[in-house]
Amino acid sequence: MSRRELRSPISTHAATSTVKSTTNGKVKSDADTFMVPEVGIVHKVNERLALGIGAFGVSGMGVDFRDKDLMENPPGSGYYTNALSKMHTTFQFMRLTPAVAYKINEMIAIGAALHIAWGSLDMGAEMCEFEDNDGDGLPSVKRCWNASGGQSQDFGLGASVGVAVNFGDFIYGGLYYQSPVSMKYENVFDSNGDGRYEDMKLEQPQEFAIGIGVKPLENLKFGFDVRWIDWSGADGYGDFGWEDQWVFAVGTEYKPIDNLALRIGWNYGKTPIRDKDNLDPMNPKNSIPNFERRFTDFEVYWFNLVGFPAIAEHHLTLGLNWKITPNFDID
pLDDT digits (tens, 9 = 90+) for 28-57: 666 566 666 778 888 889 999 999 999 988
Q: What is the mean pLDDT of residues 198-220?
A: 96
Rounded percentage of the chain residues whose pLDDT exceeds 70: 87
pLDDT of residue 15: 34
Q: Which domain holds residue 85?
A: 5-330
* pLDDT at position 305 over 50: yes
Q: Between the CA of residue 210 and those of 226, 242, 318, what are the distances in Å?
A: 6, 23, 21
Helix and strand element counts for the chain (H, E): 1, 22
Task: State if pTM tops 0.85.
Answer: no
Task: Assess whether pLDDT exceeds 60 at residue 21.
Answer: no
| Mean pLDDT within 14-33 | 49
Cβ-based burial of 185 (10 A; exposed 0-12, middle 13-18, buried ≥19): buried
Confidence category of residue 143, pLDDT binned at 50, 70, 90 = confident
> The domain that contains 171 carries what CATH number?
2.40.160.60
Q: How confident is the model at residue 27, as a pLDDT?
A: 62
Mean pLDDT (whole number) for 204-224: 96
Percentage of the chain with pLDDT > 90?
56
* Domain total in the chain: 1
The reported pLDDT for the residue numbered 79 is: 74
Other Cβ atoms closer than 10 A to 293: 19
DSSP state of 66: T
Query: Long-range contacts made by residues 127-130, C-beta under 8 angstroms, separation at least 24?
Result: 127/15, 127/16, 127/85, 127/190, 127/191, 127/193, 128/15, 128/16, 128/17, 128/18, 129/15, 129/193, 130/13, 130/15
Residue 225: which pLDDT band, with cuts at 50, 70 and 90?
Answer: very high
State residue 31's pLDDT score.
59
Q: Is the pLDDT of residue 141 over 80?
A: no
Query: What value does the mean pLDDT take over residues 68-91?
Result: 81
Residue 161 confidence (pLDDT)? 98
Which tops the pLDDT comparison, 94 or 21?
94
Please confirm whether the linkage preceding 74 is cis (ω < 30° from 0). Answer: yes
Q: How confident is the model at residue 23 (pLDDT cuts 50, 70, 90)?
A: very low
Q: Give me the pLDDT at residue 74, please.
A: 67
pLDDT at 33: 63
Residue 9, pLDDT above cutoff 50? no
Residue 22 pLDDT more than 60?
A: no
